[in-house]
Structure 1
Amino acid sequence: MRELIKILDINIDKLNMRQAVERVKELTFDHSSPSLVVTPNSEMLALAVEDQKLAEILNSADLATADGIGVVIASKILGDPLEERVAGFDLISLLFKELAEEDINFYFLGGKPGIVDRATANLKRDFPDLNISGYHHGYLNRENQQQVIAEINEKNVDLLLVGMGVPLQEKFLANNLENLNIGTAITVGGSFDVLAGEVERAPLWMQKAALEWFYRLLQEPSRFGRMLSLPRFIYLVIKSKYFKLD
């Protein structure tokens, strides 16, 4: 039975990284119905306060990890602390490492044209035994969306990684998951940019010091507006603790 905490009325699983990896594996090996794994961070949770459809999708997921230190801080404010953050990029990195020699087929969907190609090439270099059955950029229209879905279904995909940004990736999966012959779909945000070498992750010491957001801001100053969502998120969490959210 899942152990959950609600943050801004969104379910977050109380799992550490090791437990999350094992849970994804369980879902992936079970092909009885497609499973959905989401990776909410503070920006996504704040957005879900205003986007009821996104909130419903997040709460329908089979696993929701605490992707970001802001979510962990919120859990402490609410008096039900999460053990650690379970960043989506770290989660999929462990899955690549641990499933590289397993009979598991991956498919990558997302990113700008050319990005997911480089990400795939880099992963094949680092994990030669990883089964990557296909990939496609995330700029879909009605015609190529149906082609991609057909390709995924033909390739017996176990793990589908979708990185289209929030909330497009969540809504794409909500609209199409029941038509996909897969084990599990995971929303991965901008992970393909990192895997392609387009964006660098913060040094490990900055990750451990909860300063990854600052490193990302130095790389992409245009993200400053998005960073303002964190103080708003903390305000909403404090408000939700003492007052009902409107």
Structure 2
Amino acid sequence: MTDYVEILGIRINKYNMQEAVNFIDSLIQDGKKGLVVTPNSEMIVTARKDGELARILNRADLSVPDGAGVVLASRILRNPVPERVAGFDLMQETLALAGKKGYSVYLLGAEPGIVELASEKIKERYPGIKISGTHHGFLAEGAEELILAELNKLKPDILYVGMGVPRQEKFLDKHLKEMDVKLAMTVGGSFDVLAGKVRRAPLWMQRSGLEWLYRLIQEPQRIGRMMALPVFLLLVIKQYLKERFS
């Protein structure tokens, strides 16, 4: 049995939350510019059509199952992951780790003003945490070079990038080798949640695999994106049948 499950061509590590945090800690200590990604069902469907995104996801040092759909898919394929490791929760755990071990962090992404507010909320939640800097994700021409210069000056241990899929993954694939950071993690819309711009589903809905429904109620315009879930499950069933009977 491997330590990952391959779902529609994308490898997902079979770690629970604590194992993922421990592995991230080891990546930071190694200082080899580790990359952590958090695929959900929508991202995996997107990666089927975007070979560059698929390649980036499969080259990551850690890929966790961010979504009930991915957990269900692993069970359908008879190679189950231990549990859902939601990207937002993993970010919180790594922030706690950073506060405990003195790791410095940098926040890159979201709208102007939002990432700064997220930074303040993080400082309230994790007293003593070292936030090296912040920058929004709306980068004008030439801004990427300025960001790289700032990161190489500040040398944060952890870089969180929340620019949306696939922009955040492609940004890191292009620039991570030039950055003086020990670990980078894609965090999607986590800054919006931290800042209070977007509310997260109640815990019972998260545990029931219904967070997608809560987000749809909050943001009805997401209905088109939500159609990726049934497509994803149909493709997973097709993969299972092909693997079993081929």
TM-score, normalised by the number of residues in structure 2: 0.96
In structure 1, give the amino acid aligned to 2:163: M
Q: Which residue pairs with 1:190 in the alignment?
A: 189
User: Does the 8 Å contact 1:29/1:158 carry over to 2?
Assistant: no
Q: Which residue pairs with 1:76 in the alignment?
A: 75
CA distance in 2, matches of 1:156, 1:102: 16
Worse-superposed segment, 84-93 or 122-131: 122-131
Worse-superposed segment, 9-18 or 137-146: 137-146
Unaligned 5+ runs, structure 1? none
CA distance in 2, matches of 1:241, 1:34: 35
Q: Which residue pairs with 2:218 in the alignment?
A: 219
Q: Trace 1:172-187 onto structure 2 (pairs within 5 A).
A: 172-187=171-186
1:28-73 CA-partner distances (Å, limit 9, x unpaired) = 1211x21110000000001111100000000000000000000000
Q: Which residue pairs with 1:26 in the alignment?
A: 26
Please report how far the alpha carbon of residue 240 of structure 1 lies from its aligned counterpart in structure 2 after TM superposition.
Answer: 1.8
Q: CA RMSD in A?
A: 1.2
Q: Which residue pairs with 1:200 in the alignment?
A: 199
User: Does the 8 Å contact 2:98/2:104 carry over to 1?
Assistant: no
Please report how far the alpha carbon of residue 100 of structure 1 lies from its aligned counterpart in structure 2 after TM superposition.
Answer: 1.0
> SS of 2:105's equivalent?
strand
Q: Which residue pairs with 1:7 in the alignment?
A: 7
Identity %: 50
Please report how far the alpha carbon of residue 82 of structure 1 lies from its aligned counterpart in structure 2 after TM superposition.
Answer: 1.1
Unaligned 5+ runs, structure 2? none
1:64-110 CA-partner distances (Å, limit 9, x unpaired) = 00000000000011111111110010001111223213221100000
CA distance in 1, matches of 2:41, 2:125: 31
Which of structure 1's runs of 4+ aligned residues deviate more than 4 A? none
Q: Which residue pairs with 1:145 in the alignment?
A: 144
Please report how far the alpha carbon of residue 140 of structure 1 lies from its aligned counterpart in structure 2 after TM superposition.
Answer: 1.2
Please report how far the alpha carbon of residue 115 of structure 1 lies from its aligned counterpart in structure 2 after TM superposition.
Answer: 0.8
1:132-165 CA-partner distances (Å, limit 9, x unpaired) = 0001000113311110111011111110000000
In structure 2, give the amino acid aligned to 1:211: L
Q: Trace 1:42-53 onto structure 2 (pairs within 5 A).
A: 42-53=41-52
CA distance in 2, matches of 1:4, 1:55: 15
Please report how far the alpha carbon of residue 3 of structure 1 lies from its aligned counterpart in structure 2 after TM superposition.
Answer: 1.1
User: Does the 8 Å contact 2:34/2:184 carry over to 1?
Assistant: yes
User: Does the 8 Å contact 2:98/2:105 carry over to 1?
Assistant: no
> SS of 1:100's equivalent?
helix
In structure 2, give the amino acid aligned to 1:238: I
Count of residues in Structure 1 that have an aligned counterpart in Structure 2 = 242
> SS of 1:18's equivalent?
helix
> SS of 2:47's equivalent?
helix
Q: Trace 1:54-203 onto structure 2 (pairs within 5 A).
A: 54-203=53-202
In structure 2, give the amino acid aligned to 1:216: R
In structure 2, give the amino acid aligned to 1:215: Y
Please report how far the alpha carbon of residue 238 of structure 1 lies from its aligned counterpart in structure 2 after TM superposition.
Answer: 1.2
Please report how far the alpha carbon of residue 128 of structure 1 lies from its aligned counterpart in structure 2 after TM superposition.
Answer: 2.2
